[in-house]
Chains A and B, each alone.
Chain A
Amino acid sequence: MSARVPLPAWVDRILLPVLNVSLAFLIGGIVVLLVGQNPLEAVQIMLYGAFGYGDGFGYTLYYTTNFIFAGLAVSLAYHAGLFNIGAEGQGYIAGLGVILVALWLNGTHWALMMPLMLVAGALFGAFWAFIPGYLQAKRGSHVVITTILFNFIATSLMSYLISRVLKPAGVSADESARIEAVTRVPQLREFIPFFGYSPVNLTFPLAIAALFGVWFLIWRTKFGYAVRALGFNPTAAHYAGISNARLIMITMALSGGLAGLVALNEVAGVQGRLILNFMAGAGFVGIAVAFMGRAHPIGVALAALLFGALYQGGQELAFSMPAITRDMIVTIQALVILFTGAMGEMLRPPLERIFARRAPAVARPAE
C-alpha cells in the first residue's frame, strides 16, 4: 500500500536515464577535479574524441556495434524473464565458429564469407547459451548461475584452443592464423573515407538491422508475444498452452546467437584473427546497456552509443590528459553503470513526488 503515482512516460523513459547519466558525470567530474584537472575540459576532450572527427567517430561506432549486439542479447533473454549474464562467454565461443569457417575457406570473397561467418558465429554463440537454457528448462538450474559458470568455461576452453590448437607454428603470440584481407568483413572506410583509419566495418549496419529485427521479433510476432507472456507470467503462459521449457531453450539460443555477432565484428571485422580475450568485457557492458535501455531496441541503441562514446572518448582523454589514467576512465565508466544500472531507480521516488503534485493526470486511488 503506497501513495505512488506512476511517472509520465517521457519522464520514465527519457528524463530519468538522462538524470542518471548526468549524476554519473557529475561525480566523475569531481573525481577529475580531485586529480587537479578541469572537468569541463575533460568532457570537451571526450566529446571531441568520440564524435569530433572521422577516426574518433568510427571508433565510437565500432565499440557501439559490440555493445548493440551484447545489449540485444541480454534484452531478448530479459523479455522471457531470463537474466543472461553469459554474453561474454557466448561471444567468445562464437569467435571460434567465425575463425573456423574463415580459415577453412580462407581467401574466398567476403560477400560470400560474411553470411557464412555470421551464421557460424551465431550458431556457436547459440550453442553456448542453449546449454544453460536447457539446464534451466529441464533441470531447473538457474541461468544466472550457469551462464556465469559458462563464461569461465569459455575463457579456459578458448585459452587452450588458441594457444595449443589454433596457434600456427612459428608464431609467438597466442593467436590464430590470419584471415586474408579479401575474406575479412570490409571496413566502412573503404566506402566512406570520412572514417579514416577506424575499424568500424560492415557489421555496424548489421547491428542496426539487428535492432529492427529484435524489435519486430518481440513486438510484432507470435513468438515475441509468447516470450513476453513467459517473461511477465510463466503460469499464464503455461495456461495459454505455451511450452515454457521449449521457449526458454529457444530464447536462450537466440540470445547467445546475438551475443555471437560480437565475434563477427571483432574477429572477422577488426582483428582478422582470433586473439585471447577479444571480448574485453563487451558482454558485461551489454548487461548495463540492456538495463539502461530498458530492454528496448531504441534504448539499447542509445545506451550502446553512450558506452561506445565513453570507451572511445575515454581513451582520447587518457591520451590527452596524462594525469587521468586508464583506471580513472574505467572508474567513470563504472560510475555510469552504477548510476544507470544498480542505482537506476534511486531518483524515481523524488521524481514521483514531484510529478504526483504537478501532473497527476494518470493518478488512481489506492483501491
Chain B
Amino acid sequence: MERVNHPDAQRPQGAAASAPAIELRAINKSFGPVHANRDIDLSVQKGTVHGIVGENGAGKSTLMSILYGFYTADSGDILVNGKTVSISNSSDALSLGIGMVHQHFMLVDNFTVLENVVLGAEGSALLGRSLSKARSELQRLARDYGLEVSPDTLIEDLSVGQQQRVEILKALYRGADILILDEPTGVLTPAEADHLFRVLATLRNEGKTIILITHKLREIMAITDAVSVMRQGRMVATVPTSETSPEALAELMVGRRVLLRVDKDEARPGDVKLAVENLTVADDAGVIRVKGVSFSVRAGEIVGIAGVAGNGQSELLEAIAGMRRPVAGRVIVNGHEVTTHGEAGAAELRQKGLAHVPEDRLRMGLVTNFEAWENSILGYQDEPRYGGGLALDIGASRREFEGRIAQYDIRPANPRLKTANFSGGNQQKIVLAREMERDPDILIVGQPTRGVDIGAIEFIHNQIVKMRDAGKAILLVSVELDEIRSLSDRILVIFDGEIVGEADPASADEGELGLLMAGVHNKEAAQ
C-alpha cells in the first residue's frame, strides 16, 4: 500500500497550540492480578490520525474500552478537548463526540443501511421523520467523506468493506469528532483497506481526530501522523510517524530486535509430492470458486499462493485437504490419487502424509473449548499411539504435548488450560506443532500468521522454512503479500478461482503482483 498523501504533514505541530482532542493522564486498570494498563499517558492532537500499536495483550483494547466507557479506570484522568470528563458508558462517550468502530461490527443484518444508522438515535416514536432526516444527512456525509453506501440496501447484501463504512457513518451520524477504529483492516481486502485509508485521510483533513488501533506496522507507516507503542500494559513510546520505522516500532513492541525478513537458503526441490490437476471446486452454496486449477509442489520447496481473500483459496485448500469433494479434476498426494473427498476425507489425507494448517484456527483448526492437549491430537485421535481400541490414552497424549510445549515455546506451559485462553500466537503454535511434528511429506498452510504477534510470526516463519529444508513439500496460502514474498520459492497468483500468473519472489515486483491479484492480466490494460 502506498503512503496516503498528507496535504499538511506538519499538522501535529501546527495544531499543538489548541488543547489535545484526547488526553489521558496516569490511567491505571487492573483485572485481578493482571495490571492491564499502568500509568498510561496519551495525548492525541486534534485533526490527526494517531496510531496505537502493541502485541495482543499489551493493553490497547483495554485502554480504548476505558475511553469508550466499557470499563472505568481504577485511577487517572481523561481530558477531552482540555476538559476533565468522566465516561462511564458509551452514551457518555458519544455525547463527548467519541465514536467507535468495532473490530466485529455491531449491525443488524436484516435491516437496511438507513435503519442501522438511525438505530438507537431515532429521536421520536414514529420513524418517518427521523428516517428522512437521516437520509439527507447520510447523503451529506457520503458526499463530504467519500463514504458512498446505498441507504436502502440490506446489511447482509453488503461486502465487509461496505459494512465497515456503515459503522463509520453510524458514528459520524451521531456527531463523532473523535473516531476510534479497532483493527479496522483485519477483515478487509487490500483494495478495501486502501479505500478506508483514503476515507480516514479525508476525515482528518475535515478536522476529525482518528485513533487507529492495529498491529500492522505498514498501516501505521502509511496513514498515521503519530504513533504510540504499548507493551505489557505500559505506554513505552509516542513518536511522530515520520521519525520512526517499522523495525524500530517492532523492537519497541516486542522489547527486543525482531527480524521482519526471513533468512533462508536457496531451495533444493526434489520430486513432485503434491499435484493438482484441473481442479474445479464449488462452495457450500454450489458456486464454482476454483476453476480448473493445475499446479504441483515438489519436495523441498515452498509454493506460495497469493491473492485477495475470497478468490477461491479456502475452497482450494479444503479440496486438497480432503474436506471438500471437487466438482472435477484430481488431487495427487505422494503419487496416490485422492478418492475419499468429503465427509471423512481429511482422515485419509493425513494417512497419506499430508498435514494441513487451516486458514482459520478458531473456526477449523482448534476446538477452543478443549484443553490444549486435547487439541494436540485433533485429527490424529485414532492413531494407536493415543490408545488402542476404544480407549483414549490421556497420559500418552499429555506427555507428548508437554514435549511440544517446550519445543515450540507454547505459553503458558499448561497442557490442561482451555485452548480459548491462549493468545492467538500460542494457539497457532499448538496447531503448527500438531501438524509439523507428524513429519508429513506435504504441508499445506493457510494464513499461518493471521492474528499472531510479531514475535511469534518470526518463529512460525522459521519453522516453515525448517520444514522446507527438511525436504517437505509446502503449499502456502496467504493474503499477506509480504509473507508470500519472503517465504515462497515460487509464487502463484490466484484471482477469481484461476491461477493468473506465476512469479519468482526474488525478481517479482510488488506492483506487478498487485495487479495480478486485482485481476488485471496485462500491464497495458491497467494504464
A contact residues vs B (CB 8 Å cutoff): 1-3, 5, 220-226, 228-229, 232-233, 235-246, 356, 360-367
For the complex, give the distance between the alpha carbons of A367 and B59 in Å.
Answer: 7
| Cβ contacts under 8 Å, A223 to chain B | 390
Given contacts A222-B392, A238-B323, A244-B343, contact A5 B31 (CB under 8 A): yes
Residues B31-83 near A (CB distance < 8 A): 31-34, 36, 56-62, 65, 70-71
**What 8 A-B pairs are tightest by C-beta distance, nearest first?**
A360-B32, A241-B347, A363-B32, A241-B346, A365-B36, A240-B379, A243-B344, A363-B31
| A364 to B33 CA separation, bound complex (whole angstroms) | 8
Complex: how many Å from CA A365 to CA B28?
Answer: 13
The answer to whether B346 touches A365, judged by C-beta atoms less than 8 angstroms apart, is: no
* A221 contacts B32, C-beta separation under 8 Å: no
Is B32's CB under 8 angstroms from A239's CB?
Answer: no
Q: Given A222-B390, A363-B34, 12 other A-B contacts at CB below 8 A?
A: A3-B71, A222-B386, A222-B391, A236-B378, A239-B378, A239-B379, A245-B343, A361-B33, A364-B31, A365-B59, A367-B56, A367-B61
Shortest A246–chain B CB gap in Å is 7
Provide the residues of chain A in CB contact with B381, threshold 8 Å. 222, 225-226, 240
Task: Name which residue of chain A comes closest to B351, CB basis.
Answer: A241
Q: When A221-B392, A236-B365 are in contact, do A229 and B370 touch as well, CB less than 8 Å?
A: yes
Docked-complex contact A366 and B364, CB < 8 angstroms: no
Q: List 23 A-B contacts (CB under 8 A).
A: A3-B31, A221-B391, A222-B392, A229-B370, A233-B364, A238-B343, A238-B364, A239-B321, A239-B323, A239-B356, A239-B378, A240-B346, A240-B347, A241-B346, A241-B347, A241-B379, A244-B343, A360-B32, A363-B32, A363-B33, A365-B233, A367-B60, A367-B62
Measured between C-beta atoms, what is the minimum distance from B103 to chain A in Å?
9
Which residues from chain A contact B102 at a C-beta distance below 8 Å? Answer: 1
CA distance A183 to B350 in the complex (A): 52
Partner of A241 from the list B57, B345, B394 (CB cut-off 8 Å) is B345
**B448 located at the interface, meaning its Cβ lies under 8 Å from any Cβ of chain A in the complex:** no
Q: When each residue 346-378 of chain B gets 1 if its CB lies under 8 Å from chain A and 0 otherwise, what string results? A: 111110000010100001111111100010011
CA distance A226 to B323 in the complex (A): 16
Whether a CB of chain A sits under 8 angstroms from the CB of B502 is: no
A241 and B33 within 8 A (CB): no
Measured between beta carbons, the chain B residues less than 8 angstroms from A228 are 367, 370
What residues of B have a CB within 8 angstroms of the CB of A242 in the complex? 344, 347
Interfacial residues, chain B to chain A (CB-CB below 8 A)? 31-34, 36, 56-62, 65, 70-71, 102, 233, 321-323, 343-350, 356, 358, 363-370, 374, 377-379, 381-382, 386-387, 390-392, 394, 421
Asked if B367 contacts A241 (CB within 8 A), the reply is no
**Closest beta carbon of chain A to B345's beta carbon, Å:** 7
Let me know if A235 and B363 touch, CB within 8 A: yes
Contact of B65 among A220, A225, A237, A366 (CB under 8 A): A366
Q: Give the chain B neighbours of A233 by CB distance below 8 A.
A: 363-364, 366-369
**CB-based contact A236/B57 at 8 Å:** no
- In the complex, what distance in Å separates the CA atom of A233 from the CA atom of B322? 18
Provide the bound-state CA to CA distance between A244 and B346, in Å.
12
With a cutoff of 8 Å between Cβ atoms, the chain A residues found around residue B356 in the complex are 239
Q: Is the CB of A3 within 8 A of B70?
A: yes
Q: Which residues of A contact B377 (CB under 8 A)?
A: 225
Residue of A nearest to B390 (CB): A221
Contact assessment for A241 and B350 in the assembled complex, using a CB-CB cutoff below 8 Å: yes
Task: Contacts A243-B344, A244-B343 given; indicate if A362 touches B32 (C-beta within 8 A).
Answer: yes
Contacts of A366 in B (CB 8 A): 31, 36, 61-62, 65, 71
- Beta-carbon nearest neighbor of B382 in chain A: A222
* Chain B residues within an 8 Å CB radius of A221: 390-392
Q: Known: A220-B391, A238-B346, A239-B365. Is A356-B65 also a contact (CB below 8 A)? A: no
Docked-complex contact A224 and B392, CB < 8 angstroms: yes
- Contact indicator A236/B363 (Cβ below 8 Å): yes
Q: Which of A226, A362, A366 has the most CB of B within 10 A?
A: A366
B61: A residues at CB distance < 8 A:
1, 366-367
Query: A224 — which chain B residues lie within 8 A by C-beta?
Result: 392
Closest to B35 in A: A365
- Closest chain-A Cβ to B389's Cβ sits at a distance in Å of 9
User: Once the chains are docked, how many angstroms separate the CA of A360 from the CA of B350?
Assistant: 43
What's the Cα separation between A232 and B371 when bound, in Å?
12
Q: Report Cα–Cα, A241/B323, bound state, in Å.
A: 8
State the CA gap A222–B387 with chains docked (Å): 8
> In chain A, what residue has the closest Cβ to B343?
A243
| B-chain residues with CB within 8 Å of residue A2 when the two chains form the complex | 70
Question: In the bound complex, how far is the Cα of B102 from the Cα of A3, in angstroms?
Answer: 16
Residues of A within 8 A of B364 (CB): 233, 235-236, 238-239
Considering the complex, give the chain A residue whose CB is closest to the CB of B363.
Answer: A235
Q: Which residue of B lies closest to A3 (CB)?
A: B71
Residues of B within 8 A of A362 (CB): 32
Nearest Cβ in chain B — how far from A78, in angstroms?
Answer: 13
Which of B70, B367, B387 is close to A232, meaning CB atoms less than 8 Å apart?
Answer: B367
Asked if residues A220 and B392 are in contact (CB atoms below 8 Å), the reply is yes
Contact flag A232-B32 (CB < 8 Å), given A220-B391, A222-B386, A367-B61: no
Contacts of A364 in B (CB 8 A): 31, 34, 421
**Which residues of B have CB within 8 Å of A360?**
31-33
The answer to whether B370 and A232 have CB atoms under 8 Å apart is yes
Give the contacting residue for B32; candidates A1, A222, A246, A356; CB below 8 A. Answer: A356
* Distance of A222 from chain B, by nearest CB (Å): 5
Chain A, Cβ-Cβ closest to B32: A360
